[in-house]
Structure 1
Amino acid sequence: MHARLQRRNAAFTLVELLVVIAIIGVLVGLLLPAVQAAREAARRMSCSNNFKQIGLGIHNYHSAYNQLPVLGTGTYVVGGRDLWDQPSPTTPSATGCSNHRLSMLVGIVPFIEQQALWEQISNPLAINSNGTPKSPPWQAMGPRPDERNYLPYVTELATLRCPSDPGTGLPSLGRTNYVACTGDSSYRSRDPYLNVNEQSEDSSVTLPYTPSTGSAQHSNAAHRGIFVLTKNMKFRDTLDGLANTIMCGEIATDLGDKDARTSLPTSGGVGVTGERKDCHLNPSFMKASLDPERPQFWIASIGVNSNWGRGYHWYDAMPVYGQMHTILPPNSAVCTDAGPGAGHGDLVATASSRHQGGAHVLMGDGAVKFITDSIEAGNSQNPVVYLGGSAATKNQTGAQSPFGLWGALGTRASKEVISSEF
């Protein structure tokens, strides 16, 4: 009898089991956010390491060739008008050249331990992305940048991807989360060889480019970053100091969800009132098109072009794919005056990320910094610096950046003193 009572007392009651389960549930609920935070911290560290590898690749490239990899390089169509124009896909020359559209990332491919991919790009390639033979072969340095049948263009490189960014698959090809910084001005960010009317193309300019005095003056006034589209740049051009100047920035890639940081409106340059505006005159005017209930997304009435997502082509130098500016604070909405093309005009696009509260940047000396969304960024409605600027609006040629500390970090030779922590 006594033994039976002892065995009964050794068992748990139902109440005791429920109490234990409740305690375990509370502990899991308390620990889960900490676990998630630890995982994100690990992803953020991995992202920073990727950027350091890219920085090392750029410095090794400069050591080998005494210049930076060119932003806007590759082969060209004789008689083509500008960087954006491509021959019709039905013409024999459609897949014949990259038309000076290749990103600076292409140049550093062999310097980030991707020699096999570089061999595919730098030599004629007799195979399609689906494995079928290609005859005649793809031209060395690749075809038009939206060609899905070209294997290197659909190749994703782990070094170019942030682990926190889930973007994958069509309509993108090979994605990148790291792009060149082209400074604190978006003026002619698509093509430095436009004529005085920034919305028109100079039909007299053909590839290979023969820059005129006018186009050179416009480029010198507005293109103030370490990288300048189609131009051979060197570290010695960065007079403000490599440690004080952003060389590359992190971007979030588009997920097809109308994220204002990553998707380009098909009504670019037209606010909700229907008034036509230019993003270089007011970089933040499209804030009026943000959803008040979800301020990171466009309102329902704003359409977006699903093929023009940020970071969709790792090898492409165009602003939507391969550039960022230090105009609007990190994770701000893009601003474009492209109209229905939503990618054919100037684009104000800042750094962005899937990390909480900011984004990484790569400084000229190779250091990786995390810039918060709250960095001092001046007046976001101020016109950008360009040749037509004036002292009254603080955007005349040679002016210090009107976009505060953030803008100053993007300029290579504007004599700003970086006195604040960032």
Structure 2
Amino acid sequence: MPRSNRSSCKSRGFTLVELLVVIAIIGVLVGLLLPAVQAAREAARRMSCSNNFKQMGLGLHNYHSAFNQLPIHGTGPINEAHRALGGANARWNKDPAHQYSRVGALVGLLPFMEQQAIWDRVSNPLVIGAAQFTAFGTVPYTEMQGTTTQFTSNGISYDPWFTEINTYRCPSDPGVGLPAGGRTNYGVCIGDSISLNLSSGIFNDSNLITTDSASVADFRASDRGVFDVYGKNMFRDILDGLSNTIAMGEMNTDLGDSHITSETRGGGTNVQNKPDRCQPQIDANRPQFWSTAVSHTFTPLASRGACWAATAPGFTIVNTVLPPNREYCNDANQDFVSANGTLTVSSRHQGGAHVLMADGAVRFITDSIEAGNSSAADVRNGGTGGSAPGSQSPYGLWGALGTRAAKEVIDKEF
């Protein structure tokens, strides 16, 4: 019987060429898969961001059902008696007992956002430390205390304003920690106005709330959105239709990297006459970043989304003037109390940002939305021509989506 050939059964190893080919194939596969994994992760984050907005939309509608109005953006205790105790600056910065109507709409939404625990802390007295605010004696915080535009006082912070609320944060935004308090990626929409009229009383030391006829005329002409500062608006005021009007918008928080959407620059006085006047300060080689240094001294307080509880424009307000992801620009040498500014929506998503419509729907607005003339003056009291009170928005479809009762016809997809 012939013997079997054992040599034919011997195993053969990989040659060097075969091994290199296998490694190359694995490298190519990894190179193809990693971007797909990153894209899938961002898609999940974007969906989560959208879901947060949907929850806020439900909260707005539940709030309206409970109180027959939307939450006021700019509320809180006021005490004029402290005017004589240390002057205006001391009254604003060191008075723990009164917010002077600087509490934003996101605070009022807390009980309707499954944040009852934080609401209980805000709406009840809170003692932090043994001695603070020595200008007015040693006192505990009572309800709605702690200044939302001052992160600490005598080294002691008001804990609720520093609390990060997950629903108020977009997971695509990496911003964390100081100089911000509790950050937010969502702000209320005040319409297509740059003339915020803040210097007429909203953040003015000498006139906390101005109710004279001239100021009322300014507010009525300029504040054309679902929200306005101090205003008590209702769904019935949105004559353009809930599905055609933006109630809130997404925004980036500041990373300290001179990004045009989260760190402001001064465009000189009267920015409302030319919204894009800060554009020459953008780095031509890196068009998402500024090429110039900041023009004011309160940079942290001007940071976008720095405090969810505040009323201040940079923190919690958006407008529909410049299209999404354009520059954050205000009057020269102003901080968070800037009287005029472009506060458009922005995001870390690719190609646009989310907005919440007044009917509760969440829409993704692309950077290329039709936005009219970015050099046109806004509609305001005393304006003429296309800026006269009651005029249609000069900022095209984008501006029209921001106004609640300007009667523009929305006949385009967005």
Superposition TM-score, scaled by structure 2 size: 0.90
Aligned mates of 1:63, 1:191 — CA distance in 2 = 33
Count residues with an aligned counterpart.
Answer: 395
Assess, with a 3 A threshold, how the Cα gap between structure 1 residues 6 and 306 changes in structure 2: closer, same or farther: farther
Please tell me whether the aligned partners of residues 71 and 102 of structure 1 are also in contact (alpha carbons under 8 angstroms).
Answer: yes
1:123 partner SS: coil
Give the CA deviation at 1:302.
Answer: 4.3
Please tell me whether the aligned partners of residues 86 and 99 of structure 1 are also in contact (alpha carbons under 8 angstroms).
Answer: no
Quick one: which amino acid aligns to residue 183 of structure 2? R
- Counterpart among 155, 167, 173 of residue 181 in structure 2: 173
- Residue 29 of structure 1 corresponds to 31
CA deviation string 1:226-263 (max 9, x = no partner): 00100111110000100000000000101000011111
Assess, with a 3 A threshold, how the Cα gap between structure 1 residues 2 and 161 changes in structure 2: closer, same or farther: farther
Does residue 387 (structure 1) correspond to residue 381 (structure 2)? The answer is yes
Runs of 5+ unmatched residues, structure 2 = 130-136
Assess, with a 3 A threshold, how the Cα gap between structure 1 residues 306 and 3 changes in structure 2: closer, same or farther: farther
- Counterpart among 134, 139, 156 of residue 136 in structure 1: 139
Quick one: which amino acid aligns to residue 56 of structure 2? I
Assess, with a 3 A threshold, how the Cα gap between structure 1 residues 264 and 343 changes in structure 2: closer, same or farther: farther
Aligned mates of 2:204, 2:126 — CA distance in 1 = 33
Quick one: which amino acid aligns to residue 65 of structure 1? F
- Counterpart among 340, 344, 354 of residue 348 in structure 2: 354
Give the CA deviation at 1:188.
Answer: 2.5
Please tell me whether the aligned partners of residues 301 and 336 of structure 2 are also in contact (alpha carbons under 8 angstroms).
Answer: no
2:10 partner SS: helix
CA deviation string 1:340-364 (max 9, x = no partner): 5464332211000000000000000
Aligned mates of 1:28, 1:202 — CA distance in 2 = 60
Which region of structure 1 is more displaced relative to structure 2, 317-326 or 135-144? 135-144
- Counterpart among 12, 15, 25 of residue 13 in structure 1: 15
- Residue 269 of structure 1 corresponds to 267
1:359 partner SS: strand
- Residue 365 of structure 1 corresponds to 359
Aligned mates of 2:378, 2:311 — CA distance in 1 = 21
Assess, with a 3 A threshold, how the Cα gap between structure 1 residues 124 and 362 changes in structure 2: closer, same or farther: same
- Residue 172 of structure 2 corresponds to 164
Quick one: which amino acid aligns to residue 66 of structure 2? A
- Residue 120 of structure 1 corresponds to 121
Please tell me whether the aligned partners of residues 190 and 319 of structure 1 are also in contact (alpha carbons under 8 angstroms).
Answer: no
Aligned mates of 2:220, 2:295 — CA distance in 1 = 35
Give the CA deviation at 1:90.
Answer: 10
- Counterpart among 321, 328, 344 of residue 327 in structure 1: 321
Please tell me whether the aligned partners of residues 253 and 305 of structure 2 are also in contact (alpha carbons under 8 angstroms).
Answer: yes
- Residue 398 of structure 2 corresponds to 406
Runs of 5+ unmatched residues, structure 1 = 129-133, 195-199, 271-276
Q: Give identity over the alignment, percent.
A: 51
1:180 partner SS: strand
Give the CA deviation at 1:31.
Answer: 1.7
- Residue 338 of structure 2 corresponds to 344
Aligned mates of 2:336, 2:215 — CA distance in 1 = 24
Assess, with a 3 A threshold, how the Cα gap between structure 1 residues 301 and 122 changes in structure 2: closer, same or farther: closer
Higher share of residues assigned strand: 1
Aligned mates of 2:175, 2:190 — CA distance in 1 = 24
- Structure showing greater radius of gyration is 2
Aligned mates of 1:179, 1:121 — CA distance in 2 = 20
Assess, with a 3 A threshold, how the Cα gap between structure 1 residues 171 and 184 changes in structure 2: closer, same or farther: same
- Residue 213 of structure 1 corresponds to 213
Quick one: which amino acid aligns to residue 120 of structure 2? E
Give the CA deviation at 1:33.
Answer: 1.3
Give the CA deviation at 1:28.
Answer: 1.0
Aligned mates of 2:336, 2:280 — CA distance in 1 = 18
Q: CA RMSD in A?
A: 2.4
- Residue 234 of structure 2 corresponds to 234
Aligned mates of 2:36, 2:308 — CA distance in 1 = 34
